[in-house]
Structure 1
């Protein structure tokens, strides 16, 4: 049956490859233009592809987002490869038998004469993994972490208006660099940004609407006004706030004198009366419109935000808008099943819809930044978010993973997470890591944790910090009772991976500690939820996982074994998916999801039947099964 399922899935994948990629991002304004269409792509190593004179006429033409690890392996061999899956995969079970490597993208674009005086930049929402960008043969950027978005000021590298420019992008996904399916290539959207010399930036703008008292919300708005020109400018900054129904509820205009080549911070505080609060049941969204005008309109941006309060305490638990709420959570990787890692907007939104439809009110983004559109969908549909950034710090989990860039890049990368995401009302916690090897090391672990948390607080103090902490199976010289406190001492909220047996003992030792199950398995769902349901200091549980995902192949397998046979942790060829999700790739509920419905009191009873185990054998369900 497994081989039939595998072959059916591959046939489905082949059909999907024939369907056009329905990306509908068009230019919302002249300020931001989609660059997704008509790229040329080559899979493999090739010399001089960054040069403008390079001939790419034989390259494949495609639209972004794109994930070449879901393309068929170039050379198909019976018994070795099937579609994108290969027995020779370096990642093996980790990456679901898929193949990485090196890929090149090239695109021509021309700056129009009317944009001659504008600042031109490129914005990549994500490319896995190490990415190098050239403009007209000049290297403009290197980004080492495949989940971090990046912006490039390309003006110094561009030709005069009217003369074509060549973008060349090299993306490298080689070696053992991930414990799950990551995908390969420019798998999220790319945008061309055009602004005047005097301009604003969405990442510089933070709207803190987390203070509500009575029938009034106090809003703190911070932004930065940039002047990249050499001349002093007298400008007028206008700020308008619109209700969820589109009615203006606040407006102000401020004169700003800004010297050449300088940035001016802008801060103001105002009240909104009778605010409509954002919640999981009524996800009401306000909109801030910021515009700057000197002699003419220089720039304008629109930033959605939500008004809501978030509180945590051991005595009262988690309070959203002053009301207690248990987190019915699920962990989630970033892939979209057999679509791979491509962040197609509809696929990203569908994940949120599936979680909401099956009783989840929270998601933990494991173990990296999700796409922008996923977070927008969480805002619109009402799904709480733990935003997570790292799966490792200085110590490696795989030989070629992010540990090799951590010391140089981690502060920048975690700052990017917060600056990009802090206006999303759905986000309630920032997670600095998952199952970090040096979590309890002295003094290394504490030094790193404090540094990361300080970086978060530089850009946002309105949310709690957390991390997902596991037992010390990887450190035989450590014990939970003796050493785990060091992993938690700098965090606001303590995430426990598979450690429900420690909840009550730790509460007795640390009565003010706020805890949640950052990862749990379906077969222990009742043990977890019964404790969470009755104890305020336990604020929720996040099953591994809400939806099935590629990689960690066969993590949740079930086998019929004869006496003396033993089950492995992962499954080999041709397994490619983990199979541990409540919901499968097609969006259908698995038995564990019906079981969870009963725990969460969404239904009174569920009935499941299965064939009897073969005579002389026993059913062995893996821990995550």
Structure 2
């Protein structure tokens, strides 16, 4: 226990150091005309009455900057064996949430709008709030947003006081009950933005860029700009698009005139040809910029620069995955969104460092399990050349926990889906949309119907990427050889690419039945990396393996941790039952121990094994920690024995 307290003190110091150097950097799109809204918020843990009202006295509240995650902060009652740092033995989520604590809390911010911005439109955007947030502006309820992982925005113009007069935004965040299977964090844990624009402007997430025709000599770039006219009269706009190559040189230009009716939005489509394009790839992730200007009477009303990549992606059963016409095997890793000792706070440098570490560790692809990532993380993946599976949901209509997203799915799935795709569809790093993970109703008609609805909406918003889903069959096979996996075939037929969680033994049999199906290991156990990678190298219709997980994460505490138990009479299987590892009372363990890398990016045993599998290394030598007399080691199927690269005893 003393060692654990010492380790937590070191973690606390690391958090403070990183927080000191952290700043809100602007992303590569949408943010040039937006200002960070992260500074000088007031915070209180608890649920005071009438905290949404302007006259509420918040003078005693704590002042902080966003992003902020209160679940990673030290709890009251330190010094006992039941509370250590942010971890509490009485946590509602127990091992699932790493013994952290949620609850309800409030944020408030006082701000003014300049006189020069009178008669303009004002939007507030939240990149992520976990969870079930309610937003008030000067006591007016702007809206509720249940899902903790999607970005959302409000037009707050009707609620603002006159310029130079104080406004107050109040945010209530409710992370209550059993709503997650892993550590989610709590609070406004991603960036916030304020955008002030003219009445005629580019709509939020209103630029969509595709590259329908690409070769080494020429590329066709299609830009669709959604323009909003909130004036009371029709306007004629001129939309000017300028493209700039990765070196900053102008690569093409187009201009078109369009009428935008009063109170409506209009899509304006333009096409630009680019000669000798620099193709975006994992090895050379060159980014273009699209600068869109909207003019009325020769006056610039709005301007927005969006980063994009010129590249092609293609999936089929003969060649697997092809990037720019080249077959590419995905060395993938799954990961959750937390940043280890920083909790869920999406600090830019922490997000960037995570992708740097994964790229240096040999990964060329990540699966954002099981929710969309922060916008800045995708900016980093674009810049560093990391391929991404952008995953939407872990739950549909059937719950995995009683207070989870299933309670909101029917009302919110379409809005959340639109938010994800509209926000992320310009990122060249995103190569697949994943509509779900191990959803319980996958075999049922209701699951088929839901998948059909999700697929239709996604294809309507972005038809340039394939749709996938991570599916699993833990039921085994009965005496007749029939498995419920076969019931999922109609569901799988809705997808462009099928993700197999822990099912590499099914590939060849399924290929005989469904020769056009494209497959990959959307999750695999680290100790079976060799077997999974052999299938990728052998079978052209299997294009990648995503290990669970690339990095350790908070929550699902101890699932991958090898344990010592008393030596029993007789023999025992070293791979003990899952009940040893999915133990809701695993205190004081708080992280999963399933990663190739630990919480802060240091290599672990599966990292070295993975590099042998990838042929990045010819031999690795590790030594097992001594096992005390009278004990034996049991090893999780998601873990490795307690082996060390370096030791001293």
TM-score (norm 1): 0.96
State the alpha-carbon separation in 2 of the partners of residues 5 and 438 from structure 1. 44
2:119 to 117, 120, 138: 117
* Partners of 1:472 and 1:479 within 8 A in 2: no
The residue aligned with 2:595 is 581
Q: How does 1:183-194 map to 2 (within 5 A)?
A: 183-194=185-196
- The answer for the alignment partner of 1:384 in structure 2 is 387
User: Aligned ranges for residues 27-426 of structure 1 at < 5 Å?
Assistant: 31-76=33-78, 78-201=80-203, 203-213=205-215, 215-295=217-297, 296-426=299-429
| Equivalence for 1:495 | 499
Which of 421, 427, 431 is 2:430 aligned to? 427
Separation (CA, whole Å) in 2 of partners of 1:580 and 1:493: 26
Gaps of 5+ in 2: 640-649
1:235 Cα deviation after fit: 2.3
* 1:570 to 2:582 alignment: yes
Distance 2:612 2:217 in 1: 38
CA distance in 1, matches of 2:143, 2:15: 31
Provide the residue aligned with 2:645 in structure 1: none
Q: Matches of 2:495 and 2:34 in 1, distance apart?
A: 38
CA 1:271 to 1:26, structure 2 compared with 1: closer, same or farther past 3 Å? closer
The verdict on how the C-alpha distance between 1:530 and 1:240 changes in structure 2, with shifts beyond 3 A counting, is same
- Give 1:75 shift: 3.6
Deviation of the 1:450 alpha carbon: 0.7
Q: Secondary structure at the match of 2:408?
A: helix
Which of 537, 545, 551 lines up with 1:547 in the alignment?
551
Provide the rounded CA distance (Å) in 2 between the counterparts of 1:136 and 1:475: 60
Task: Indicate whether 1:604 and 2:639 are aligned.
Answer: no
Q: 1:77 to 1:479 in 2, by over 3 A?
A: farther
Cα distance between partner residues in 2 of 1:182 and 1:493: 28
Number of aligned positions between the proteins:
622
Deviation at 1:77, TM superposition (A): 5.5
Check conservation: 1:210, 1:307, Cα contact below 8 A. Answer: no
Report if aligned partners of 1:30, 1:194 keep a CA contact under 8 Å in 2: no
Compared CA separation, residues 26 and 418, structure 1 to 2 (3 A): closer
- Three-state SS of the structure 1 residue aligned to 2:488 is helix
Residues 315, 321 of structure 2: 8 Å contact kept: yes
Q: Please say if 1:12 is aligned against 2:6.
A: no
Aligned-pair distance for 1:5?
5.2
Question: Structure 1: which 5+ runs fail to align?
Answer: none
Q: Rate the CA distance shift 1:202–1:279 in 2: closer, same or farther, 3 A.
A: farther
Q: Cα offset for 1:211?
A: 2.5
Contact 1:472 1:480 in 2 (8 A): no
Aligned to 2:443: 440
| Distance across 2 between alignment mates of 1:448 and 1:474 | 25
Check conservation: 1:96, 1:577, Cα contact below 8 A: yes
1:503 deviates by 1.2
SS in 2 for 1:205: strand
- TM-score of the two chains, using structure 2 as the length reference: 0.93
Say whether residues 1:512 and 2:485 are aligned partners.
no
Q: 1:34 and 1:321 mapped to 2: Cα distance? A: 36
Distance (Å, rounded) in 1 between the aligned partners of 2:491 and 2:8: 43
1:4-39 CA distances to partner (integer Å, 9 max, x unpaired)?
553233112332454444343378988311111111
Inter-partner Cα distance in structure 2 for 1:158 and 1:476: 64
